[in-house]
Amino acid sequence: MENNYQEEIARILINIKSVKFSFKNPFTLTSGLKSPVYIDCRKIISYTKERNKILNYAEQYLIKNKLSFEILAGGETAGIPYASFLAERLQKPMIYIRKKPKGFGINQQIEGNFSVNQKAILIEDLATDGGSKVNFIKAMRKFNIKISDIFVIFYYDIFDILKTPLAALDIKMHYLCTWKNIINIVQKNEILSKNEIENLKLYLNEPEKWRLIHE
């Protein structure tokens, strides 16, 4: 796998407009934190050529890093298509995890067939500080599914991992692309003004300072 695959993915995300910027009215992330930038990885599923390139890199990453798992778990809802694509490529079984148990029937939170002590990997589209993944992990462990790895297409990678909700769960985050890769492409192609790039750099390097100024 080429060392520049991260920037290729960053370029794809920018080209299909998965990357959105808003400096005057910052976005509110799933974590509740403000951000001048937003990633919508759900758009990838609509672009066949770009989707296949990213899935090729994802498959190569899982194989190259020798991640051990018997089953892929997709997180509701954005993680489900990526878990499906990768499960088909790897010819492995798949389940998906609801954000909370459905309020009818047998009150199931995990859909699909799995075995006790089966080892899984959680597949999601992106992660900010990992907070939204906690419920998925706890649900899986409640049903005695082994889980120690999360794989995402995009990871913010700007928060102190020791201060994130995942810190106490002994989970390793795997990813293909980060905001640092986006910044590199933005700079190379002069997509934003110098002031906007500096604003982004401040956010990426010192998010807490950035929030104090903009919240």
pLDDT tens by residue, 163-203 = 787 888 999 999 999 988 999 999 999 999 999 999 999 98
Per mean pLDDT, which range of 6-10, 31-35, 180-184 is the poorest? Answer: 31-35
Q: Which of 42, 104, 51, 107 is nearest to 76 (CA)?
A: 42
CATH 3.40.50.2020 for domain 5-214: yes
Indicate yes or no: pTM above 0.95.
Answer: no
- C-alpha span between 14 and 20 (Å, rounded): 8
- C-alpha span between 176 and 137 (Å, rounded): 21
Tell me the domain boundaries of the chain: 5-214
What confidence score (pLDDT) does residue 67 get?
97
Reported as a single tens digit per residue, the pLDDT across 91-131 is: 999 999 999 887 665 558 999 999 999 999 999 999 987 88
Average pLDDT value over all residues in the chain: 91
Helix axes 48-64, 5-15, angle to 10 degrees: 150
What confidence score (pLDDT) does residue 160 get?
76
- C-alpha span between 96 and 190 (Å, rounded): 40
Q: Which of 22, 51, 32 is nearest to 176 (CA)?
A: 51
Percentage of the chain exceeding pLDDT 90: 69
